[in-house]
Amino acid sequence: MMAGKTIRRRRPQIAGLANTLAEASWTQADRALAEAIANFSELDAAQTPAKRKALMALVAQSLQRAARRRGLERIGAEGEIAAFDAGRHELSSKGPRAPKEVRILVPGVARGGVVLVKARVATTRPRARA
**Shortest CA distance to 72 belongs to which of 16, 102, 46, 33?**
33
Question: Is residue 45 a contact residue for other proteins (CB under 8 A)?
Answer: no
Q: Which is nearer to other proteins, 38 or 98 (CB)?
A: 38
Among 1, 45, 128, 130, binds other proteins (CB under 8 A): 1
Whose CA is closest to 79, among 104, 58, 102?
Answer: 104
**Does 87 contact other proteins by CB under 8 A?**
no
The only residue of 2, 86, 128, 130 in contact with other proteins, by rule CB under 8 A: 2
Query: For the packed helices 15-41 and 49-69, what is the interaxial angle rounded to 10 degrees?
Result: 180
Q: Is 34 in the site for other proteins (CB under 8 A)?
A: no
